Amino acid sequence: MKAAVIVFPGSNCDRDLAVAFEAAGADVQMVWHKDTDLPRDVDIVGVPGGFSFGDYLRCGAIAANSPICHSLKAHTDRGGYAIGICNGFQVLAETGILPGALLRNAGLKYICKTVGLKVETSDSAFTQGYNAGDVINIPIAHHDGNYYADDATIAGLQDQDRIAFTYTDNPNGARADIAGILSENRRVLGMMPHPERAADAGHGGTDGTALFRALMGALAPA
């Protein structure tokens, strides 16, 4: 599997994501935000967590207009895989690759802790390593993780089985307890929690490992 991880000014989880990809067996290339093209034959693009461009304007808004995001949008439009984690989810929402928006946490405070996530679907390359209904423990670290979409969008996500993860105890006010969603073709995942921070026993947990291994299994033969 060939993975590319985009790096923006202010990214702070790009190396963590690259290490998680590599541990699952992927070849990883880091891509600077001012680059105009993704690597050839890339299987999946990772949009990492952090505070791209200092979270000015809106979280992810400036990053979404970086030159590389035009290539990211083209990649997903033609059916390419992508994962956006935390700030990366915000970028995917700002580009329109995924629906909805990430608002300020309901409590108006930055939250950094491990939370319980319920796996809502195993029908994707990202979640096939789990069983629907599993509860996993994954860290969060965000100030603007409150997922919002209108009623019709929420209903569509539910009806199409596109909600990947929900919070067992909603920490930020997200509608329908949403922690992660899938694109219509199920090849793009955006999630606020950090599976790359739960992929090494030395860091306190390994519940995120199955996500990266599942991706490797799904995309390596491609």
The domains of the chain are located at 2-219
58 compared with 167, residue with greater pLDDT: 167
| Residue 77: CB atoms within 10 Å | 9
pLDDT in tens, 25-36: 999 999 999 999
pLDDT in tens, 43-70: 999 999 999 999 888 899 999 999 999 9
The active-site residue, picked from 69, 94, 120, 196, is 196
pLDDT in tens, 181-220: 999 999 999 999 999 999 999 888 999 999 999 999 888 7
Tokens of 155: 């209903």
Q: Is 169 exposed, middle or buried (0-12, 13-18, 19+ CB in 10 A)?
A: exposed
pTM (2 decimals)?
A: 0.96
Identify the band that residue 221 occupies on the pLDDT scale cut at 50, 70 and 90.
low
The active-site residue, picked from 86, 120, 142, 143, is 86
Architecture of the structural domain at 2-219: 3-Layer(aba) Sandwich (3.40)
Tokens of 45: 């693009």
Give the pLDDT confidence score for residue 203 in this predicted structure: 85
Q: pLDDT averaged over the chain?
A: 96
Of residues 28, 157, 144, 163, the one with CA closest to residue 87: 144
221 compared with 199, residue with greater pLDDT: 199
The β-bridge relationship of strands 111-119 and 135-142 is antiparallel
Distance CA 65, CA 156 (A): 27
The active-site residue, picked from 75, 142, 143, 194, is 194
Which residues, other chains included, contact 104 with Cβ-Cβ below 8 Å and sequence gap of 6+? 143, 144, 146
**Please, are residues 203 and 196 in contact by the beta-carbon 8 Å criterion?**
no
Active site residue 69: no
pLDDT in tens, 68-124: 999 999 999 999 999 999 999 999 999 999 999 999 999 999 999 999 999 999 999
Active site residue 196: yes
Q: Which residue has the tokens 């984690």?
A: 85
Active site residue 120: no
